[in-house]
Structure 1
């Protein structure tokens, strides 16, 4: 039965390549795989994978998630979709994301889990080694946002200097908790590149300050007390009320090396609950927050 699952996945990927990622075709092939393979483990999981084939409950309307997917990493988009579906956020911001992978994750969320998302891509470079594709047409790499509500006014900004690799932010307007809100998703320069992150945070904070209500998610590659994050702390708070840069702040780590690099910053939005979810599919954990946008 595990061979049948693998054949289905390869068939779906072949369909993507042949037909340019047609969403209807991808979903049709995925659903055909469900019918072919069927539940083969307790709870309806596909053989060899923790993938529920029945539709999950609707998205949690006030839940926002951030996740650095890790690239390059040997992770299946089926498994990534299952991780997201287990928590069913209204909005998720992904970093180190290949546009083609994000599209597949969205399709798997719909086909296997009954969750329908809109997508906005924030690619900052075209990179064959990270994202594949034809040598003359490499895949896009950067940020992405999935939202259960329609997305408008998407803006993709590349920072003036990304450091050792191009970096930027993606901003969209969508709904969280039934209210319109501006959502930003960013990935800052790598560790030990504080001077680049300092300038990047200034660019980001200037735009965030224009909005009375904003949610900023992403991998900031900096611990809370890092001085380059000061402009963000002056505008917003972390979704964890106990996490702040002042002495005595307690911030739960979000990475395999036990540092907090991933944030859900809130401006004009109140936190309700949050959770860091350990995962075997990335070197960053999933972080989600349930919010009060009223």
Structure 2
């Protein structure tokens, strides 16, 4: 009887702990509950997004996933992305929001300080693309000169709005490195020019009328219809310091709707565009 009583008491205490603490999950997400297997949502088929998710910023990947799920884009490009963070965001999008994405990486840096891991096995850092449709023909390159930190671009072919689209994702050199960015834009623009229909996502670290962005403006228009490479253009800021650094450049298609949403999870805003590919 004594042994049975102790087992009952231990069981009761375990239940009480679960009630107080909640189910466990990675990254401290104790309140997240997985959706039923059948609760799969469809992404908005003609919606693309770009987001510099800020690193290192020590913020919740559960929260990042929730911000993305509110818009359910077909394609999203991340910059300043650690592979481990992207894996968790992708997991939470599926488990908590029913959104299933494929992933491709364009990492250019192995950095223990930014992305954790062990000094002899650091995490990978750079860009990533999530797409609700499969991706093919992944390509990517590190720019010959990254400036103060290695930088590069990646590209994939996927489906947006029912059409095959080449999607580029990039992160250019940091501010006050105009000459470096000019060389990087030259490399990127030469690749984009090969495609009649392309979306170029990224953090360009330059305002719209910066001279180094001229080759991109010659090839494509920004999804923000009021934004042009002119000091008088009505470009909506995309950063906490009220500058437009983040772009959705469109080649061979036009925007239907555009929005910029500030977020507590990054110093860059989340930029979204719905596209007309007809």
TM surpasses 0.5: yes
The answer to whether 1:9 aligns with 2:50 is no
Q: Quick check: 1:62–1:290 contact (8 Å CA) kept in 2?
A: yes
Q: In structure 2, what is the equivalent of residue 34 of structure 1?
A: 33
The answer to whether 1:214 aligns with 2:232 is no
Offset of residue 74 of structure 1: 1.9
In structure 2, relative to structure 1, the CA distance for the partners of 1:193 and 1:247 (3 Å cut) is closer
Q: Which has the larger radius of gyration?
A: 2
Cα offsets for 1:194-228 (capped at 9, x unmatched): 11100000000000000000000100000000000
In structure 2, relative to structure 1, the CA distance for the partners of 1:128 and 1:251 (3 Å cut) is same
Q: In structure 1, what is the equivalent of residue 129 of structure 2?
A: 145
Runs of 4+ in 1 over 3 A off after TM superposition: 54-57
Which of 195, 204, 217 is the equivalent residue of 1:233?
Answer: 217
Matches within 5 A, 1:1-150: 3-4=21-22, 7-10=24-27, 34=33, 55=39, 57-150=41-134
Which of 156, 175, 184 is the equivalent residue of 1:172?
Answer: 156
Q: Quick check: 1:56–1:85 contact (8 Å CA) kept in 2?
A: no
Q: Secondary structure at the match of 1:62?
A: strand
Matches within 5 A, 1:142-291: 142-291=126-275
Offset of residue 56 of structure 1: 7.2
In structure 2, relative to structure 1, the CA distance for the partners of 1:33 and 1:274 (3 Å cut) is closer
In structure 2, relative to structure 1, the CA distance for the partners of 1:33 and 1:283 (3 Å cut) is closer
Q: Quick check: 1:55–1:112 contact (8 Å CA) kept in 2?
A: no
Cα offsets for 1:90-133 (capped at 9, x unmatched): 00000000011101111110111000000000100100000011
Q: In structure 1, what is the equivalent of residue 13 of structure 2?
A: none
The number of residues matched between the two structures is 258
Q: Secondary structure at the match of 1:180?
A: strand
Q: Quick check: 2:32–2:96 contact (8 Å CA) kept in 1?
A: no
Q: Quick check: 2:27–2:60 contact (8 Å CA) kept in 1?
A: no
- TM-score of the superposed pair, with normalisation by structure 2: 0.89
